[in-house]
Structure 1
């Protein structure tokens, strides 16, 4: 699974910075205790939606050692505990996420989490999971249900007051880098524009349904991840330049696209959490943030433990709190 690119416990430390960044610049959730939060994304945000789709074990995290630190059992989250989206929900006084696809009754006045581990902005890149487009379709079902239950006016108010949080694109770039390791700068730029274009189209559709407040998490330093190092036989100090370049291009293009939407769409508000810089700082200075190891994942196989956590013959760090 691609989230094995980071030590599982890194999610906790990064999460604290995420909600500090998000809630320092928007008061929507703080001032409206029960404002809804709708979440879209990949394995960084997936609370277990992949448990309920027909896909391989590679795209699931419903087996040990996932979940061992906080929930004490595997929930489908690609972490030893809570995810970034869980900490944000807690900070916003919302309950921990149940997967949108989990059977049973759901209370959508608090929002919903549609994220799917391995998800892509380009649907054809990974048909094994829920693409961003598929997540949008699920959101539309929630909008329809809210209108049926509450009426158009009340449902519209919930949708307008809500925050729309997303993290998507990283898997697209891993796939492109694997398929085109010798891609030219022009080819990479064109590909980034396709990814950003798909994200922008989804944002516009959410806006048309009432969304006004958007929080984006940009793409991390993909080329410096354990999986990039392991697949490309790199040393600890090396990064895979192609994937790293794609991440940087994506993050610049995301800012440009968001600013253009701010001009085009009345009352459109956005913030972007710089996940790239935060994670790069952790990679370069692990001791500063209380970690002993930043280049080797906490769970998995291979020289950097970058794949198959919980599957077959894998290794597990003794203490996820310091990745020792």
Structure 2
């Protein structure tokens, strides 16, 4: 009888040891993040090259301009914080940068497809994602040459093994849609170029993989039809507006892009067997704030916090922090609102820090991801 009960105990012990808790994969412990994208994740690239973001940018968190087009932190900042990593230095910023825990190649105004216009002509950057890849391709070996010099260089560069263990984040595509629309292309014409845009995106992910990247966290694009700068520049018929004040044709375009991006990720998983690739539905997280403002403590779902005039508090000629002569004196006219945290939108183009945090809180647990893995588990493959 005693041996029978001890056998039962052994079986029970085995069952306990095989419980889901002990089988759960460990957190990934990413040593670094390498980010590619546009202004939604630019921590100082455009500012370093084309002139620093001006006050009141950065007012909420940094209390001064910090290279970001936001009153405070971006989604990428919350991602870094949650992984226990410092904010990412922009690769293009040569002053005071520290690349020990990764680098940020994102630049405001960037697109996937290279632009045929200058920044001055269109507001879109020449630093498209293929250029960002070239920067990364250059950074990887050169960072190790610098690290080998020792001293301060060893403290400012990532370790060689960190490149294969790092998280590679992508948040780009919005500007491909808006740049085309601002060139007076119809929605149908823009839809026709989406497959080419996505082919170029897939190519860049493959290139990063060829350089050792294995863990990819890919954001889709947000509801562009809810952005003041789109609504102001491209007014649509009342019948084309949804009940939240967004332009339906442009949101449908973003959703078409996102379906294509999700399919591209599925194809990439088949081709890059050694990779963990997570597709993140940021569109849904952003649209939740606009469509359910009360739930999220929002008073202004569409109107910009920092701007000047008009229905959306947005003026293309007088952006956030803009000044003009009033009675012969330079006066700040495009000011920030009293409380950016009750606005979804910061400056007509970008989200407020409070919104970025609310978006992050919706995506960090993996509930809006495919596969539904939390951020800290994004190194585990789910094929």
Pairwise same-fold verdict (TM > 0.5) = yes
Q: Which has the larger radius of gyration?
A: 2
| Correspondence for 2:110 | 119
Structure 2 residue 252 is the aligned partner of structure 1 residue 252: no
Give, in whole Å, the separation in 2 of the partners of 1:315 and 1:179.
Answer: 29
CA contact (8 A) 1:89 1:96 kept: yes
| Correspondence for 2:268 | 261
Local SS of the residue matching 1:166? strand
Could you list the per-position Cα deviations for residues 137-186 of structure 1 after superposition, in whole angstroms to 9, with x for gaps in the alignment?
111121112443568xx9553211111001001011011122234343xx
Structure 2 residue 300 is the aligned partner of structure 1 residue 309: no
| Correspondence for 1:23 | none
Structure 2 residue 89 is the aligned partner of structure 1 residue 98: yes
RMSD: 2.4
| Correspondence for 2:33 | 37
| Correspondence for 1:210 | 212
Local SS of the residue matching 2:299? coil
Q: Relative to structure 2, which stretch is displaced further, 117-126 or 130-139?
A: 117-126
Give, in whole Å, the separation in 1 of the partners of 2:322 and 2:147.
Answer: 45
Structure 1 138/172 Cα, relative in aligned 2: closer, same or farther at 3 Å? same
- Greater relative contact order: 1 or 2 (C-alpha under 8 angstroms, separation 6 or more)? 1
CA contact (8 A) 1:192 1:246 kept: no
| Correspondence for 2:196 | 194
Local SS of the residue matching 2:110? coil
CA contact (8 A) 1:156 1:210 kept: no
- When normalised by structure 2's length, the TM-score is 0.69
Count of residues in Structure 1 that have an aligned counterpart in Structure 2? 288
Give the C-alpha shift of residue 317 in structure 1. 1.4
| Correspondence for 1:143 | 140
- When normalised by structure 1's length, the TM-score is 0.81
| Correspondence for 1:320 | 340
Query: Mind listing any 5+ residue stretches in structure 1 that lack a counterpart?
Result: 1-25
Query: Mind listing any 5+ residue stretches in structure 2 that lack a counterpart?
Result: 1-23, 120-124, 149-157, 324-332, 345-383
Give, in whole Å, the separation in 2 of the partners of 1:158 and 1:71.
Answer: 29
Structure 1 39/27 Cα, relative in aligned 2: closer, same or farther at 3 Å? farther
Structure 1 286/142 Cα, relative in aligned 2: closer, same or farther at 3 Å? same
Structure 2 residue 75 is the aligned partner of structure 1 residue 67: no
What aligned pairs does 1:157-236 form with structure 2 within 5 A after superposition? 157-184=161-188, 187-233=189-235
Structure 1 159/127 Cα, relative in aligned 2: closer, same or farther at 3 Å? farther
CA contact (8 A) 2:77 2:87 kept: yes
